[in-house]
């Protein structure tokens, strides 16, 4: 199944080129650049903290809450991400996002604001987790190399899936670059290319894979993996409801031809 309008590379190139030559407007440009700097710096720090924390099975972090209170705090840190992440994708959440910044810029910057909040949520979760101090298993030798390879591959799949879905949206760049050019954000079409050819939810699947391909296993990592994997199974259902309303029969046909979370590698439909 193909989508001629779903070519993200030319769209992203046009967006970047336009951002390099923005129309005049001092305050607007300063606001756009400030949001761009914040979202990309925070996104990078959040992702790096997630990669590092899970690599060590959540056994190394900055949290210092005493036990057993730490168990409740850690649970709250895990649950806050799927709860608010999904809430902000609702119509009410979208309106709330638009009101977080000055009214004339709020709607344009909503995707950037969303990415800033999501990055802050991830950073809080992985940087301020309080480790239990219990390590069940740690890979060594050839097994360590194999698992690290799987971990790296999972992250590469997540990056690829995010790019296929629209890098400008996933990274938060769409909002601030559109404001910089003083144009209305142009969202990418329904993703059907790349990994979306064989599976409808490659981002969620790849994210779940990163949770289970770690070289160190602790009760902390197990709780995190089980909770967020459950989120990865349920949350796409809500996303697909929105897509069905937006794209109608076109998305229904896509649903019938491409599996939900198990890749179709046989070529059968």
Tell me if 223 is assigned to some domain.
Answer: yes
Tell me if 264 is assigned to some domain.
Answer: no
Tell me if 183 is assigned to some domain.
Answer: yes
pTM: 0.83
From the list 115, 109, 105, the residue with the least C-alpha distance to 40 is: 115
Tell me if 2 is assigned to some domain.
Answer: no
CA 180 to chain centre: 23
Tell me if 262 is assigned to some domain.
Answer: no
Tell me if 269 is assigned to some domain.
Answer: no
Tell me if 196 is assigned to some domain.
Answer: yes
Give the domain range for residue 67: 8-257
- pLDDT per residue of the chain (269 residues) written in tens, 0 to 9: 444 445 555 555 555 555 555 555 678 888 899 999 999 999 999 999 999 999 999 999 998 999 999 999 999 999 999 888 778 877 777 777 777 776 688 888 888 989 999 999 999 999 999 999 999 999 999 999 999 999 999 999 999 999 998 888 888 888 899 898 888 888 878 888 889 999 999 999 999 999 999 999 999 999 999 999 999 998 888 888 888 888 889 999 998 999 988 876 555 54
HSE, side-chain direction, 13 A CA sphere, residue 61:
31
Question: What distance in Å separates the CA atoms of residue 175 and residue 105, rounded to the nearest whole number?
Answer: 9
Residue 10 and residue 88 in contact, taking contact as beta carbons nearer than 8 Å: no
Q: From the CB of residue 255, how many other CB atoms can be counted at a distance below 10 Å?
A: 14
Domain count, the chain: 1
Residue 2 has a pLDDT of 40
Residue 50 has a pLDDT of 96
Tell me if 267 is assigned to some domain.
Answer: no
Residue 239 has a pLDDT of 85
Question: What distance in Å separates the CA atoms of residue 198 and residue 205, rounded to the nearest whole number?
Answer: 12
Helix (H) or strand (E) holding 137: strand 137-138
Radius of gyration of the chain (CA): 20
HSE, side-chain direction, 13 A CA sphere, residue 142:
0
Q: From the CB of residue 9, how many other CB atoms can be counted at a distance below 10 Å?
A: 9
Question: What distance in Å separates the CA atoms of residue 88 and residue 110, rounded to the nearest whole number?
Answer: 10
Packing angle, helices 219-247 and 69-87, rounded to 10: 10
């Amino acid at each position: 199944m193909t989508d001629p309008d779903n070519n993200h590379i030319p769209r992203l190139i046009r967006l970047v080129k336009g951002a390099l030559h923005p129309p005049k407007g001092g305050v607007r440009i300063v606001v756009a650049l400030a949001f761009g700097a914040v979202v990309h710096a925070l996104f990078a720090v959040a992702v790096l903290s997630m990669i590092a924390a899970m690599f060590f099975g959540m056994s190394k972090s900055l949290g210092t809450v005493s036990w057993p209170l730490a168990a409740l705090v850690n649970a709250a840190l895990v649950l806050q991400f799927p709860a608010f992440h999904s809430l902000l994708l609702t119509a009410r959440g979208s309106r709330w996002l638009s009101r977080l910044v000055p009214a004339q810029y709020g709607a344009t910057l909503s995707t950037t604001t969303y990415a800033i909040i999501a990055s802050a949520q991830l950073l809080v979760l992985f940087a301020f987790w309080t480790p239990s101090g219990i390590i069940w298993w740690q890979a060594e030798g050839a097994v360590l190399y194999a698992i690290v390879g799987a971990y790296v591959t999972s992250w590469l799949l997540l990056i690829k899936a995010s790019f296929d879905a629209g890098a400008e949206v996933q990274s938060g760049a769409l909002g601030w670059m559109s404001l910089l050019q003083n144009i209305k954000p142009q969202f990418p079409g329904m993703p059907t290319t790349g990994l979306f050819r064989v599976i409808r939810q490659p981002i969620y699947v790849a994210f779940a894979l990163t949770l289970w391909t770690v070289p160190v296993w602790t009760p902390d990592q197990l709780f995190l993996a089980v909770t967020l994997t459950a989120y990865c199974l349920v949350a796409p259902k809500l996303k697909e409801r929105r897509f069905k309303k937006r794209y109608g029969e076109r998305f229904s046909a896509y649903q019938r031809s491409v599996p939900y979370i198990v890749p179709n590698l046989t070529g059968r439909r």
